[in-house]
Amino acid sequence: MSEEARLGEAICRFGDLLYRRGYAHGSTGNISARLDDGSFLISPTNSCLGLLDPARLARVTPDGRHIGGDPPSKEAFLHLAMYEERAGARGIVHLHSTHAVAVSCLRHDDPTDVLPPITAYHVMRIGRLPLIPYYRPGDRSLTEAVRAAARRHHAVLLANHGPVVAGKSLEDAVFNAEELEETAKLRLLLEGRPTRFLDAAQIAALAAAFPS
């Protein structure tokens, strides 16, 4: 099986998984995987993540040209910016998942990290999560904001919108996005309750034991 066929099938399988978990509704969310030649496959515009067809995924060159399949998601520029800044990224997931979007709508004292270190798994899979300011859909200023944050972070949260999460593989990106959504849910469940987060020494011990 070709690399394109293998990754195309994986995108559809993981899209269905995210949809069935309730992380994507209607035609929201998009998912992509980068091929060895630097181009990437991405879910088409106006597609439902639960109903993706491998034959219709869009193929896009590293400079953003559409070279195969249906027209790409209108949010393909988010993926492009993340791939350009992160050479090791092989998969990207963008969701409008409920709890992450809720956190993206809160006022944050520190927009450089908007989810606390609740669990070791969040610290290892996401780490610091910066909030990107709100831009209206279609405003290309968002591209530059994502690009700047992606230099230091593989996961970002778009204000009043949702997360963009990269991984070393497509599977890794999906698992990272799921971890982020579950941490956002925990963060909201714990709102107003005295909570013990991991401390700096515990976070440093994780970084030493599991270097990225």
Positions annotated as catalytic residues are: 75, 121
- How many angstroms from the chain centroid is the CA of residue 23? 12
Q: Which of 56, 60, 55, 54 is nearest to 40 (CA)?
A: 60
Return left, alpha or beta for 15; rule: phi > 0 is left, psi -120 to 50 is alpha, else beta. alpha
Rounded to 10°, the helix 98-105/170-189 angle is 60
Q: Which residues pair with 15 in a beta bridge?
A: none
Contacts with 143 (C-beta within 8 Å, 6 or more apart), sequence order: 77, 78, 80, 81
User: Can you tell me the distance from the alpha carbon of 204 to that of 127, in angstroms, rounded to the nearest whole number?
Assistant: 11
- Three-class SS state of 149: helix
The answer to whether 59 and 40 are in contact (CB under 8 A) is: yes
